[in-house]
Each structure stands twice: as structure tokens, then as C-alpha cells.
Amino acid sequence: MRRGAIYQLAAFAVIAAAICVAVALLVPWLPVAAGVQAQRIDMVFWVTTGIAIFVFSIVAAVIVYSVWKFRAQPDDDSDGPPIHGHTTLEIAWTAVPAVLVTVIAVISAIVLARNGNAGPDPVKILVTGRQFEWSFTYSNGKTLGYLEIPEHRATELDITAVDVIHGFWVPQLSQKQDAVPGEHNKIVVTPTRLGTFPVVCTELCGLGHSLMRSHVNIVTQAQFASFMKSGGTTTASPGLAVFQQNGCSSCHTFKPAGATGKIGPDLDKLKEYAAQAHQGPLTAFIKESIVNPSAYIQPGFQNLMPKNFAQTIPAPKLAQLVQYLAENAH
Ligand code: CUA
């Protein structure tokens, strides 16, 4: 091969690689990390992806260039020149990948070890998955339908399930963890920015899988301290607010909310109704009755419930409402 052609090929390959790496790194493909562990995972992901894209681009560019530049001409019936291999090239393409793979392995091992380290005094929260909701039990004994964690402090999530396998995931916190009945899998999260982010289930766990959502509030350490002190009611019963905002009291009676509607079933008797409906856990029955009111109709009542609550009440609010009704039902 002529020296000029080699330089041309090399330039072509490097430009192709640079363009591909730029597209990978400059487009915001991932959600912005909200935790220290997520930042580390993103770093490993991008180092690995960057290397993969760079190598792939060079290989693809060399192939494309060779097919285009060195193809046989229509009138060329001669044999190609005899080629005997190239020792330097072979050593290079063995040694370089070996180094790259070792670098990835070392970085991954360091990140894995550091992400698993909760430090001396983590906040501990028990996360329980069940069809089809998440519940979070705090060290003050309170169990809520949403996760509340402090900024800049390690929280150890102890993740389990009661029925089938679920998957705990907050995209902004990066770490996915299976919730398995009888097992306690732990992850550590150290939030770096305030906000509310979705908690989703990533394991197909049944008909309500797509509805199995909650949310996480990342709050300041002071807010978290008062949240824990007040037994987890600083948010002034968010479920009650959802109940009122959606006009539930105009049709239903529910003493804890001061509601006296008579058009729909009496929500003070939710447990009784759930037993009659033979529908598993109370929370599942309540959620089903809200998002799919035709599923079970309490005898003595007409089915006048709006059928679009699944669309009009955002999933986190719905979880709060279900939690609120379940906690206050008799
Ligand atoms: Cu739980 Cu999907």
C-alpha cells in the first residue's frame, strides 16, 4: 500500500471516530444524575461507550475506505500481491484492546465497591414491592407510599417483595435492583440535587405492572429531620389533598376527610367492600376501583364513577390517594 493511501485512510478513520464520539457525548442521552452513585455509573458507562464507539468507528472506517479505494477495477483480472501479515500491527491490535479492557475492569471494580459502601451512618429505609405498589418503611416506624430522602447523605435502601419479583428503579439515581420475595437486596443512594423523581417497577410483575409507580422526594437534611420527627406527616397528608382536588367528597362519604356524599359507595366501609370483592390486598382493590371502576361494582350502587382517573390523576398522586384511603379505612 502506498504511504499516501495509509495517511488518507488514517485521517478518514480518525475523523469518522471523532464525529461518532461527539454525537455520543454531546447529545443528552441519559437523565441528569441526581446522586453520587449515578454520577459514577454514568462515568463508567461513558468511558466504556466512548471506547467502544471509537474502536468501532475506526474498524468501520477502514473497511469502508478499503472497499471503496482498493476494489478491483472492471478490467483487472490479475491476482493481488502476496501478503505475509504484519507483526507490529498484530501486536498493536492485541495489546491495545487488552489495555482498554483492563482499564474498564479496574474502573468498574472501583465504582462497584464505592457504590456499595454506605458509610458509617446511613439513613435506612425498607422498600417493599407488591402487586402493584411500592411502600417505604422509615426508621420511625412509619410506612408511606412514597420515598423521601435527604440530600448529601447516604441512604441505604433495603429492597424486598412480598408476592412476585419486582424491580426498583429511579432513573435519576441509576441503580436498578430486583425486589425478590424472601430476599433483601441493598443499594446505597447519596442524592446530590433536590427534586421529585419517578420510582418505577422494571420487572413485568402482572397486569398492573405499568401502574406500579411511586415517586421520590429529595429534600434538604433539615426537611428530612422534621419529616422523620413528625412521623412522616410533614406533607400534610398529600393523599387527603388528592381526595379533595378530585372531588371525591361530592359522591362519597369518608369520615376522615369530612366527606358526606351519598351517590357512590361509603368509603368508610372499604375493607368490607374489599372482602366482598375478593380482591387481594386492600390497596390493590382501592387502586383498581379508582382506575378501573367497572372491575367491581358494589351491590346497591350504579357505576357512575368517572372512568378516566388513570389519565387525570398522575401516578404519584394516585399512589398517595390509595395510601391515604387504605390507611384511614375501617
Ligand atoms: Cu412490579 Cu412490575
134-158, pLDDT tens digit by residue?
999 999 888 888 999 999 999 999 9
Asked whether residue 7 carries a pLDDT value surpassing 50, the answer given is yes
Cβ of 266 less than 6 Å from ligand 1: no
**Mean of all residue pLDDT scores within the chain:** 87
DSSP H/E element including 107: helix 87-115
Q: 32 CA to middle of ligand 1, Å?
A: 24
Q: 168 CA to middle of ligand 1, Å?
A: 8
Cβ of 209 less than 6 Å from ligand 1: yes
Cβ of 203 less than 6 Å from ligand 1: yes
- How many CB atoms neighbour CB 241 within 10 A? 15
DSSP single-letter state for residue 196: E
pLDDT band at 279 (very low <50, low <70, confident <90, very high): low
Least confident range from 30-39, 105-114, 132-141, 297-306: namely 297-306
Asked whether residue 23 carries a pLDDT value surpassing 90, the answer given is no
User: Which ligand 1 atom sits closest to the C-alpha of 205?
Assistant: 2
Residue 275 backbone class (left: φ over 0; alpha: ψ -120 to 50; beta: rest): alpha
Average pLDDT estimate for 219-234: 81
Nearest Cα neighbor of 187 from 136, 138, 126 is 126
Q: Report helix, strand or coil for 147.
A: strand
**Under CATH, what is the fold of the domain 241-328?**
Cytochrome Bc1 Complex; Chain D, domain 2 (1.10.760)
Closest residue by Cα to atom 1, ligand 1, is 166
Check if the beta carbon of residue 236 is closer than 8 Å to that of residue 312: no
Nearest Cα neighbor of 159 from 148, 173, 169, 172 is 169
Task: Give residue 58's pLDDT.
Answer: 84
Q: What is the CATH number of domain 123-232?
A: 2.60.40.420
Task: Give residue 245's pLDDT.
Answer: 65
Q: 132 CA to middle of ligand 1, Å?
A: 6
Average pLDDT estimate for 304-313: 78
Task: Give residue 233's pLDDT.
Answer: 46
Task: Give residue 147's pLDDT.
Answer: 94
Least confident range from 149-163, 230-244, 271-285: namely 230-244
User: Which ligand 1 atom sits closest to the C-alpha of 131?
Assistant: 1
Q: Do domains 123-232 and 241-328 have the same CATH topology?
A: no
Model pTM greater than 0.75? no
Q: Where are the beta strands (DSSP E) in 20-165?
A: 123-130, 133-137, 143-144, 147-150, 155-161
Cβ of 129 less than 6 Å from ligand 1: yes
Residue 179 to residue 330: CA distance in whole angstroms: 30
User: Cell numbers of 179, please?
Assistant: 425486589
Annotate 296-323 with b (16+ C-beta within 10 A) or e (fewer). Answer: bebeeeeeebeeebeeebebbbbbbbbb
Q: 212 CA to middle of ligand 1, Å?
A: 6
- In Å, how far from its chain's centre is CA 13? 37
Task: Give residue 75's pLDDT.
Answer: 85
Nearest Cα neighbor of 111 from 173, 51, 45 is 45
Task: Give residue 210's pLDDT.
Answer: 87
Residue 41 to residue 115: CA distance in whole angstroms: 9
Residue that is written with C-alpha cell 455520543 in the block: 24
Average pLDDT estimate for 213-236: 81
User: Which ligand 1 atom sits closest to the C-alpha of 212?
Assistant: 1
Nearest Cα neighbor of 140 from 256, 226, 213 is 226
78-113, pLDDT tens digit by residue?
888 888 888 998 999 899 999 999 999 999 999 999
Check if the beta carbon of residue 198 is closer than 8 Å to that of residue 170: yes
Asked whether residue 232 carries a pLDDT value surpassing 60, the answer given is no
Q: 307 CA to middle of ligand 1, Å?
A: 23
Beta-bridge partner residues of 195? 218
Nearest Cα neighbor of 224 from 130, 138, 104 is 138
Cβ of 166 less than 6 Å from ligand 1: yes
Asked whether residue 130 carries a pLDDT value surpassing 60, the answer given is yes
Beta-bridge partner residues of 17? none
List the domain boundaries for the chain.
1-25+32-58+88-115, 123-232, 241-328
Task: Give residue 96's pLDDT.
Answer: 92
Q: 131 CA to middle of ligand 1, Å?
A: 7
Check if the beta carbon of residue 215 is closer than 8 Å to that of residue 182: no
Task: Give residue 231's pLDDT.
Answer: 59
Check if the beta carbon of residue 255 is closer than 8 Å to that of residue 329: no
Task: Give residue 190's pLDDT.
Answer: 96
Task: Give residue 162's pLDDT.
Answer: 92
pLDDT band at 124 (very low <50, low <70, confident <90, very high): very high
**Which of the two residues, 273 and 187, has the higher pLDDT score?**
187
Asked whether residue 172 carries a pLDDT value surpassing 90, the answer given is yes
Q: 257 CA to middle of ligand 1, Å?
A: 30
User: Which ligand 1 atom sits closest to the C-alpha of 204?
Assistant: 2
195-201: strand order across its sheet: 147-150, 213-219, 195-201, 166-169, 177-179
Cβ of 201 less than 6 Å from ligand 1: yes
User: Which ligand 1 atom sits closest to the C-alpha of 164?
Assistant: 1
Q: 133 CA to middle of ligand 1, Å?
A: 8
